[in-house]
Each structure stands twice: as structure tokens, then as C-alpha cells.
Structure 1
Amino acid sequence: MNDLFGDGGGSALLAFVRTAHDGSFAKAAERLGISASGVAKAVQRIETRLGRRLFARTTRSLSLTETGAVLLVHAERILEAVEATEAALAQAAGSPRGALRISAAPGIGRAVLLPALGEFVRRWPDIRLDVVFESRTVDLVADGYDLALRTGEAADSSLRGRRLGDDAPLFVAAPSYLVEKGIPKKISDLAGHACVRYRNPTSGRVQPWPVDASAAAVPATICYNDPEAIRLAAIAGQGIALVAACEACASIERGDLQSVLADALPHDRRLPVWLLWPADRQALPKVRVFVDFVAGVFERALGQRH
């Protein structure tokens, strides 16, 4: 059995499972933080031990052989058991530990989550964080994530989650811009202002603002395909932007941004903010402490605008 696992305990088995999911030694190596040749050698050690090929290799891709498919089922169970055992031991010792891979929506992730993570790693130095900012809705299990931070209704009923609060959009601009161009008093005033808009990177369309189209022809003076870029553009004085309140709250508190047209937006535009995780991660101490920590972060962030 030691020969099957390799010198690093379960490291060879983990390299095999990661390669099977990612379909590439290079991608698996990136996830595991080792070299591609190291992953390939780990898989080769298992093949040598079993005397069978685990992958059908071509110059462009890897695919599981029948033996590989059988091993994958059992290997995943073994690794899950190892993780559960480590979690139980960590809980008994009172020290959450291990790796957490987190998917976060870019705007809310960079504006609220990122600034708080330094405090998290100081509190729990034995937890390693791997945070990915991405707009797409990930499959937590298939893509290998422990948690996801998202806005909007949670559609996957197989996931567990904690509602961190409700968010709403705000019109904001830099104080320097408003001194120069004036403060808009009503939606129709936007026609005379520079407006920073969001262009959906998938559809290529400029996202509409939730205002009565007949009230103003809202210009798209400058467009970005990233929510954080829109907030930074507003801070830089490029115009009026529509951003999520929790993304803007720290900038407003510092005086970098000022809210305008506060009564002009519909009151039904609030969106829930969720932290989601697979059901089998529920009992892991590292997940529980992260969820509790992030809940506190968002309680403070969302509470600052009331």
C-alpha cells in the first residue's frame, strides 16, 4: 500500500485524482503547487505498482482508462476519509487546519473579502487559503472548491449556505468629480454626466441601469468588464458609477466616493449575499471558522451603510 501511495503518504493518489479531474498534468501541478513532472512521476509510480495504465495519453489530452476510472472512485473515497480524519483530529486538538479553496465574485470579493483575509490567516495560521476571483457560477464539487461567495439566490439545493445579508446598488462618484460637474438631483440629470458602465464580458452588452428609460438617455461614457475596475474608475473621477453597496461602503467611509441619487433606485433591487459550500464540508472545522469569520466581516460591511 505504501508503494501505491508513494513516499508522500497520499500524495501520489492525490496527484492522480487531481490529474483525472483537470485532464492535464500541468493543471494538476498548478493546483497542487508542484511541478508537472512531479505529478507525472507520481502517477507513473501508481501505474508501475498496478502494472496497468491509468491514462490514455495523446499529445493534446489525457483520458482515463478503465482501470483509471475504477481507481478514481476508490481514490476519492480514500482521500475524503483522510480529510475527515484530519478534520476530526484538528477539532480534538482545537486547531482548525488544512487548505481552503474559495471562489468569489470579483467585485464583492476584492472589495470586502480580500481586505479581511490578513486577519483571518493571523487568527488561524494553520489554514492555507487559495482564493479565485471569477464571475462564472462554479460547480463546487466538480471544480474542487470548498466554498463560494456569491450574490443572488442560491440555485443549487444540494449545497449548504449562510446568508450574509442583503446588498443593493448605489450611484456613486468621487467628490472631486461632483465638485466639478455638479451633483445630479434626478435621474434625467444623468444625461449630462459622464457615466461609468459595465460591459458583460460574455454577451458583450452594456448592462442596463435600473432606471426608467424614458427619464434619461444614460450615456456609456466609459465601459469596463470588471466590477472592481468600475469602482476604481469612479474613485479616479471618471464619472458616476453604479456599484454594489457592500463594494462601495469602505470607499464611502474613507471619503473616496460619495453616494448620489439615493432615492432614485427601485427598492426591490436588493440581492442576497451567500457563502455556499458542499454538504460534505459542513462539519470541517476549517470551513466552520471561515464561515463564521466571513459572516462577521459582512455584518460590519453591510451595516456601515445603514
Structure 2
Amino acid sequence: MSATAVQARPSSTTSADPTPRRPKGRGLGLVAWLAGIVFFLPIAWMALTSFHSESDAATNPPSFAAPLTLDGYREFFGAGGGASPWPSLINSTVASLASTLLVLILALPAAYALSIRPVKKWTDVLFFFLSTKMLPVVAGLLPIYLFAKNTGMLDNIWLLVILYTSMNLPIAVWMMQSFLSEVPVAIIEAAQIDGAKLPTILTRVVAPIALPGIAATSLICFIFSWNELLFARVLTGVVAETAPVFLTGFITSQGLFLAKVCAASLVVSLPVLAAGFAAQDKLVQGLSLGAVK
């Protein structure tokens, strides 16, 4: 009896093994899909409306079975005699890419000093960087406008480059400090033993290891710069007008041309969507390294 009982115990424990919780996993997956669809619906609606005529786009409720046309895109690109969007798109590209490049050049050494070779009270330094983002943008608008007016930099694309760099630099240092803290110090010490200087260590040792974090930081800085409207609206006119400012010109006293606005919004959003799609793996990998800890 005792031997039988002893032999029966393993079978009872094996039969009591927990089964995978598939219903719960399927439920979470369904919720994730529903959330993704909810967030995607406005973009899909905007894309569909951009291919409708103005009369069909203005119907309420919207006519999803209306015939498709490219008139909204033709008018956006100046086929109807309107202003060309290319100067504004080029200005946004120059301001976003140049400011993002400057942010990376300045943020990488700063993050290196705060993570791998930390300075005294480095947590206070990080808090100071982050506290600069707490100032309302409107509070600094008038001083910056007066400075730009007195220095003759109004309607200058390079003024936006400087502003976007200063605006994105604190958050970039904060993010990259978290990324670079994951870099093994032993690799850097080995490079120093081999005679590598600081620029070589940053470009050939630290940067390749922290590439996902650098890509995530670059994408976020690019999006912030591309979408910025307030400073571009106040500090630019005709020469340095950016794409978001160009979009505001579609709201006129004659009314809101919905199909044309949707076409313009979709075109202006494409660079950001393309950059996010191209770097989505690096973005997820970079954010998972600890940028949102």
C-alpha cells in the first residue's frame, strides 16, 4: 500500500501541472487589436476623405461609397493655381534633419558623461535638463521673437534649427543617458587600454552598441521638430515657412475645404509615418532598454 501510494504521488503531481492561460492571452490580444483599430480609424478616414470630391467629403454622414478622385492632391500641389507646398516641405525637412543631427552630436557626449563617466550630482543635472521642458512654450515666445527681430533672424530657417535643437536636447540627453548606462564599462576600458581616444570610443564603441537607443532618440526628435507649429507660425513668414504653417493656410474665410485639407495632412504626415515604419524595430528595442523607466 505504501509503495503504491508513493508511486501514485508523482502521477498526481504531473497531472496537476498548470495549463497555459490561453483564454486570457487571447483576450489581451483582442483588446490590443481593438485599441489599434480605434487609433487607426481617424487616419483611415482622413485617407479616404482625401480621395473624395469636396461635395462628397462635406456630406454628413460621410459617404464611404462615393467615387474616388485625385483632385484634392492636385490642388494641394498647386495644379489649381495655388501656392506650391514644396518650399514648405523642404524647410521642414531641413529644420528637422539639421536639428536632429545637432541634438545627437551634443547629446551623445553629455549622456556619456552622465552615465558611463558620471559627474558629481549627475541626478541633479538630469533633473535640470528635464525641468527646462516644464516651462510653457508661450512664456518664452515673446523674448525669442524680440531677439530674432533685433538680430535680423526673423523668417530664417536656421533660427528654427537652433530653437528645435535647444528644445529637443534635454529630452535627448535624458533618454540617451538611460541607453548608455546599459553599455558595459569593460568594453570601454578595453578600448582605452588599446589607446583609443574619446572621439573614437564614442563613434566606434559606444555608438554601435547604443544604436537602437540613438535611433529611438533620433526619431522622437525628428517628430517633435516636424510637428512644431507655434514658433514656426510666429517666427517665419514666406521664406522659412514650414509644412505645418502651410497647412494652416487652408483655413480661410471661404470655409474649410475638407478633401483638400485631408490630402495635405496625409502628405505632410507621410515623412513621419515613413520614418516611424522604417525604424519601428529600433524604436521598440531602444525604448525597451530603459528610456521609459
Bigger helix fraction: 2
Q: Fold match, TM over 0.5?
A: no
Of structures 1 and 2, the larger Rg is shown by 2
Q: So what's the TM-score if we normalise by structure 2? A: 0.24
Q: So what's the TM-score if we normalise by structure 1? A: 0.23
Bigger strand fraction: 1
